[in-house]
């Protein structure tokens, strides 16, 4: 503004910088979706007879269904601005507990219920330490993850549990209209989480806390309770994923699905690059899950060594975190 009160016109340089910034934001927002399209086209061109066949698409959906559930759990915590390293271990312990109880003669519904309760309790422990004692979520969930893995080894006695009831295995191996049941479970759970995040008071509180804890507190939100509930729900949802994974594989072990923690984090960070704000969001997380699933499936079809796949996965995680950080700096 000039000395006589008139608004100063923007300079050519400032206009160009603004246009460049907007272009950069659009590229970052569209880059993740474009990467998915490029991956699909690449693998289709490499193996047109296999990759987009109904059987393989169904296989991809089957592979990513459990990850989608656990990544949904991770999204809830990261919307609040926290982090949960224990989602993979929680899923393993829940699946192992349900399996051990069924093998011990407990009815299937009761065994599943116990596994879900354990998942919620693990989330409660995380939430109490993070929200009420104000400890760093990275440290807390790392410690809880270590303890939970130990408990899973105790439950399984260091072995792989198997020989479950066909009724239990059907939860993970059954099909409806030729689509595996875990896909339906993943769709329903992610839809419920999306509705909670978007349309409920609790979901609005989570988003507000993720934006600013202090502003949320001043506006009357019970920040501690809301953060704790995010961890409880994450633990409960992770347990669902672990139980379905045990049913799908027909077995349970202490290290079952151990990659799901890192893959869930990668999916959330990839999803954070989809929207302009750079915040965790469930729709973006699902896109991230599909990218990971397509990449893994495509590399398997091409016969790429599993160790190479780990390298590629690590690169994707680094790229996703970098892009997400750029988005946050531009907010």
Secondary structure element (H or E) that encloses residue 275, with its range: none
Radius of gyration of the chain (CA): 22
Given this model, what pLDDT does residue 331 score?
53
Residue 284 lies in a domain: yes
Residue 4 lies in a domain: no
Parent domain of 58: 30-329
Residue 309 lies in a domain: yes
Domain count, the chain: 1
Residue 280 lies in a domain: yes
Report the CATH number at residue 56: 1.10.3470
pTM, entire model: 0.85
Residue 142 lies in a domain: yes
Residue 249 lies in a domain: yes
pLDDT in single tens digits along all 331 residues of the chain? 544 555 555 555 444 444 444 544 554 555 677 778 888 888 888 888 888 888 888 888 888 899 999 999 999 999 998 888 999 899 999 999 999 999 888 999 999 999 999 999 999 999 999 999 988 999 999 999 999 999 999 988 888 888 888 888 998 888 888 889 999 999 999 999 999 998 999 989 898 988 888 888 888 889 899 999 999 999 999 999 999 999 998 888 888 877 888 888 888 888 877 766 667 788 888 988 888 888 888 888 888 877 777 787 777 777 766 766 665 555 5
Residue 18 lies in a domain: no
Residue 64 lies in a domain: yes
- Measure the CA–CA gap between 148 and 215, rounded to whole angstroms: 34
- Measure the CA–CA gap between 205 and 280, rounded to whole angstroms: 14
Q: Facing residues of 251 across strands?
A: 162
- Measure the CA–CA gap between 240 and 87, rounded to whole angstroms: 11
């Amino acid at each position: 503004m000039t000395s006589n009160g008139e608004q100063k016109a923007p300079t050519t340089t400032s206009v160009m910088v603004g246009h460049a910034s907007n272009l950069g934001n659009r590229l970052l927002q569209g880059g993740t979706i474009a990467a998915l399209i490029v991956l699909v086209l690449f693998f289709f061109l490499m193996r047109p007879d296999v990759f987009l066949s109904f059987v393989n698409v169904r296989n991809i959906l089957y592979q990513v269904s459990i990850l989608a559930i656990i990544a949904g759990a991770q999204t809830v915590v990261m919307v609040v601005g926290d982090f949960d390293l224990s989602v993979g271990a929680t899923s393993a312990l829940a699946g192992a507990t349900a399996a051990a109880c069924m093998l011990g003669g407990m009815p299937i519904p009761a065994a599943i219920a116990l596994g879900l309760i354990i998942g919620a309790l693990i989330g409660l422990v995380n939430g109490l330490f993070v929200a009420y004692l104000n400890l760093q979520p990275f440290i807390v969930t790392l410690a809880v993850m270590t303890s939970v893995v130990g408990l899973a080894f105790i439950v399984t006695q260091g072995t792989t549990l198997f020989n479950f009831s066909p009724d239990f295995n059907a939860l993970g191996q059954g099909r409806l209209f030729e689509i595996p049941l875990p896909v339906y479970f993943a769709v329903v759970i992610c839809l419920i989480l999306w509705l909670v995040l978007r349309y409920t008071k609790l979901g609005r509180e989570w988003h507000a806390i993720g934006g600013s804890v202090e502003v949320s507190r001043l506006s009357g939100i019970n920040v501690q309770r809301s953060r704790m509930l995010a961890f409880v729900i994450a633990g409960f949802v992770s347990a669902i994923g672990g139980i379905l994974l045990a049913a799908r594989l027909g077995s349970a072990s202490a290290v079952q699905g151990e990659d799901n923690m890192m893959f869930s984090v990668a999916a959330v960070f990839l999803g954070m690059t989809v929207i302009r704000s750079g915040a965790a969001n469930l729709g973006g997380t699902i896109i991230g899950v599909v990218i990971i699933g397509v990449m893994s499936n495509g590399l398997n079809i091409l016969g790429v060594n599993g160790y190479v796949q780990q390298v590629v996965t690590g690169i994707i995680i680094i790229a996703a975190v970098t892009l997400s950080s750029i988005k946050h700096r531009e907010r």
